[in-house]
């Protein structure tokens, strides 16, 4: 008797190129959790190994350039990827290796989270790395997702209020990416609402048009915010790989992160700021409703 099972099932394939977080809250580990939670097949290219926990980063070891290149080749020589999400690239040399490899394999969809500093304040890439990202990866990126610290470093000026977001996004867009998402979560925590600004290029009647969309959402009262940037970029990449357009992918990803912050706010993981909880749809935590948001 012939099996009635389908011979081929396709699900979105998402490759993350980033650093490893031994504490499991950010980096490759967070990326894979998000991709799995959203129904995608996640793959990894390790660019750096970090020794870190909820208290901070204590050691960083870059992966050799030929190993970074070999990992990328291994994925595209066999499995392929519908989209690539890029996180921590700790040196200009790694940036150039990744850019060259992705060009060689003809990768067209890239979400770049320009990770340059950990939430704890530890440097994960300096001015030279930022300059290499601008030169090598921004022109390839479908979307970049800097927080305020990263936007400030990339632009060489302080981005400190929501009123700065639109010009900052425009200036970053002029550096080559197809879209920019400025994340406002690092504004003064006295703000009860967070504003994120998305700016992107589109074509209407054969003319390029710049479009802008603001996303406003409540700030969740929690110290457990480790991995929010990685989670957001990975969720956006996964939704894009699943066929959503950019604006809806960003909106759905923001909602996913919010739900993860609500679900994770009372989790006790480590002695410092813990991670959000990306598996909220499958393993919900028990939360007092009155404490879920500010």
Task: Bin 80: left if φ > 0, else alpha if -120 < ψ < 50, else beta.
Answer: left
> What is the secondary structure of 21-45 as a DSSP string?
ETTSSSHHHHHHHHHHHTT-EEEEE
* Residue 165, SS3 per DSSP: helix
Residue tagged active-site, from 97, 228, 231, 238: 228
> Pairing between strand 83-86 and 110-112?
parallel
227 catalytically annotated: yes
Whole-angstrom Cα distance, residue 163 to residue 110?
28
Inter-CA distances, 10 with 40, 43, 88, 186, Å? 10, 15, 29, 38
Round to whole Å and give the CA distance between 154 and 112: 13
Q: Where are the alpha helices (DSSP H) in 159-277?
A: 165-173, 228-241, 246-264
Catalytic residue among 24, 25, 47, 230: 230
Return d(Cα 151, Cα 128) in angstroms, integer.
15
Instruction: Compute the C-alpha angle 37/40/45, nearest 5°.
Output: 105
Q: Which of 99, 166, 160, 170 is nearest to 129 (CA)?
A: 99
- Angle formed by the axes of helices 92-104 and 65-76, to 10°? 20
From the candidates 25, 183, 195, 231, give the one annotated as an active-site residue.
183
Pairing of strands 143-144, 110-112: parallel
Catalytic residue among 125, 229, 260, 264: 229
The active-site residue out of 25, 42, 227, 264 is 227
Catalytic residue flag (residue 228)? yes
Q: Does residue 183 carry a catalytic annotation? A: yes
Active-site residue flag, 225: yes
Q: Which helix (H) or strand (E) holds 203?
A: strand 193-204
Q: Output the CA torsion sign for 27, 33, 98, 148.
A: negative
Residue 54 annotated as catalytic: no
Q: Catalogue the active-site residues.
A: 183, 225, 227-230
């Amino acid at each position: 008797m012939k099996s009635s099972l389908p011979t081929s099932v396709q699900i979105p394939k998402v490759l993350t190129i980033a650093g490893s977080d031994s504490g499991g809250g950010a980096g490759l580990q967070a990326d894979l959790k998000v991709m799995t939670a959203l129904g995608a097949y996640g793959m990894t290219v390790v660019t750096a190994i970090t020794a870190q926990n909820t208290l901070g980063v204590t050691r960083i070891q870059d992966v050799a350039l030929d190993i970074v290149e070999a990992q990328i080749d291994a994925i595209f020589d066999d499995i392929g990827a519908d989209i690539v999400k890029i996180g921590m690239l700790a040196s200009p040399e790694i940036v150039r290796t990744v850019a060259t490899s992705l060009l060689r394999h003809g990768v067209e969809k890239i979400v770049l989270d320009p990770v340059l500093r950990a939430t704890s304040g530890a440097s994960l890439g300096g001015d030279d790395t930022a300059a290499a990202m601008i030169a090598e990866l921004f022109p390839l990126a479908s979307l970049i997702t800097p927080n305020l610290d990263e936007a400030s470093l990339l632009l060489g000026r302080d981005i400190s209020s929501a009123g700065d977001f639109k010009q900052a996004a425009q200036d970053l867009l002029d550096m080559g990416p197809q879209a920019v998402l400025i994340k406002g979560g690092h504004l003064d925590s006295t703000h009860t609402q967070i504003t994120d600004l998305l700016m992107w290029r589109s074509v209407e009647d054969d003319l390029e048009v710049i479009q802008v969309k603001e996303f406003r959402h409540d700030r969740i009262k929690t110290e457990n915010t480790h991995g929010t940037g990685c989670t957001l970029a990975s969720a956006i990449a996964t939704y894009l790989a699943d066929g959503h357009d950019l604006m809806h992918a960003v909106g759905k990803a923001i909602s996913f992160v919010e739900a993860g912050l609500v679900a994770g706010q009372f989790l006790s993981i480590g002695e410092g700021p813990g991670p959000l909880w990306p598996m909220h749809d499958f393993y919900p935590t028990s939360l007092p409703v009155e404490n879920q948001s500010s």
